[in-house]
Chains A and B, each alone.
Chain A
Amino acid sequence: MSESDAVLIKPKDYKTSVKPIWCPGCGDFAVLSAITKALAWMKLAKEEVALISGIGCSSRLPAYVDSYGFHGIHGRVLPLAAGLKVVRPELTVIAAGGDGDGYSIGGNHFMHACRRNIDMTYIVMDNRVYGMTKGQASPTTAADWDKSKLTPHGTGVPPFQPLSIALAAGAGFIARGFSGDPNQMSKLIVEAIEYPGFALIEVLSPCPTFRPEQKEWKHQVRQAEDIPLHDPVQAAEWLAADDGMSSGLIYHRAHPVWQALHEVGSTLADIEQEFRI
């Protein structure tokens, strides 16, 4: 982008006229704001961007962003986004959803997306609860959270550690953002889009309705200073020592990007040719 240009940046231009139905105070509003800021800053054409989601409150995002969008099925955001990127490599593909969508029903896809390293951005709005289905524990919920009728004594299971798992599975871009700081988040989104490969942004996005105590996150989240790390062993140690409240780009390392062997536009016959014996 040139140093000087004659236009003002208007993130609002990247919003649709569909009004969000999120609860007042939901952290997902800030994620919407950060995405539109990032797209506006990068001056991406709307038809060059595709926002893909699964199911959940957070997964409603594509309806609110004026780009291509697909509101998929629960847990399948990553295979949908991967399929799209493979056949339309020129698109900027952003996958988005919740911790339930991505780490529970979609957990297996998550690990393999990290490992496969297709060039796309994955934003997970982690509120440590299933918001849409009225407040059940998710994989990232603390073991002793006992506010859901389904787990009256807590889950008793240690929470899933998405960033450590992403690192172990081979992801090369791992970041944590916070809804209380959408401008900082927009920077992470720009960096993630620019990163050639699978870029994970875990966003601490409070659900004030079912986890009102998360309003306290604004006093707990801090920007980490000793990052990004480039060595996986150091990053693993850093993540193991972190309390989950440090934000910023944590790990950055180049890995070979997965691309389809066949040219876009290949026919089924071309592909079958290879399998003929």
Chain B
Amino acid sequence: MTVPHIQSVEEFIVHAHALKCESEEQLEMCADSLRAHNNPEAATVFRTLSQMIGETIQELEAMAEGRELPQVPPWDFHWQLVDDPQCMDEVHYLINERKALELAQLNEQRALKYFQDTAEVVTDQAVKELAQRLHDHEQRFFQYIEQRLQQLEEDVAHHDDLDPPNMPE
């Protein structure tokens, strides 16, 4: 992947903010949906992770205060060039905590890669430092998931759906 050049900290804040808002939204949607489908364990995993992302969003919003920000339409964000694993359509109402953690991990790969690539290619020192910091946040997020995964028992295979929604003839 080639990340297009970010010209200023302001431009990068706008990109990073939209990216993290999108991640947060995806995790929240999974949490809400699993909650509604009576799977509180997996819902809590997604909720906790979305709150962690919310902290980064708040930090970016605080940084944006008082700055003149460029307006980038949702369809022009550079990070869309990163291969999107689109894992959220793999969420099933019977998933367990392990699967929820693995999907959240997959969901966050895009941000991890975007921040890493940006930190590598940009020349502006302030953008580089911010990209590095956000990359560190991502790594902490992944470490947290790793720790949680280690605490869980070995994977108990995907539950069988005893009441499938559609019975082919």
Contact = CB atoms under 8 A, between A and B. Distances in A.
A134 B21 contact: no
A149 B21 contact: no
Contacts of B33: 20-26, 29
A183 B73 CA distance: 9
Contacts of B35: 19
Contact of A135 (B29, B92, B166): B166
Interface residues of A, number: 46
Q: Which of B70, B89, B90 has the most CB of A within 10 A?
A: B89
Given A6-B67, A19-B35, A24-B92, A186 B74 contact: yes
A8 B11 CA distance: 11
Contact of A208 (B32, B68, B89): B89
Interface string B32-76: 111111000000000000000000000011001011111101110
Contact of B71 (A9, A19, A24, A187): A9
B86 A180 contact: yes
Interface in A182-208: 182-184, 186-187, 190, 206, 208
A3 interface: yes
Interface string A1-41: 11111111111100000011111111101000100011001
Nearest to B35: A19
A222 interface: no
Contact of A2 (B64, B71, B93): B71
B165 A209 contact: yes
B91 interface: yes
B162 interface: no
B113 interface: no
B166 A183 contact: no
A44 B26 CA distance: 23
Contacts of B30: 24
Contacts of A1: 71
B17 interface: yes
A262 interface: no
A9 B22 CA distance: 12
Given A20-B29, A209-B166, A4 B68 contact: yes
A88 interface: no
A11 B89 contact: no
Interface string B90-105: 1111010000000000
B140 to A, nearest CB: 23
A5 B69 contact: yes
B74 A183 contact: yes
Contacts of A19: 32, 35-36
A148 B167 CA distance: 8
Interface in A89-136: 134-135
Interface in B100-138: none
Given A146-B169, A149-B169, A24 B93 contact: yes
B36 A12 contact: no
A218 B86 contact: yes
Contacts of A253: none
B5 to A, nearest CB: 19
Given A8-B60, A184-B75, A190-B73, 18 more contacts: A5-B69, A6-B66, A6-B67, A7-B69, A8-B61, A8-B64, A20-B32, A23-B93, A24-B34, A24-B93, A25-B90, A25-B91, A41-B74, A134-B166, A135-B166, A149-B169, A187-B73, A187-B75
The 5 closest A-B pairs by CB, nearest first: A24-B91, A187-B75, A19-B32, A24-B33, A37-B74
17 contacts: A3-B71, A4-B68, A4-B69, A6-B68, A7-B69, A12-B25, A20-B29, A20-B33, A23-B33, A24-B37, A24-B92, A29-B33, A41-B73, A146-B168, A146-B169, A184-B75, A186-B73
Interface of A: 1-12, 19-27, 29, 33, 37-38, 41, 134-135, 146-149, 152, 180, 182-184, 186-187, 190, 206, 208-210, 215, 218
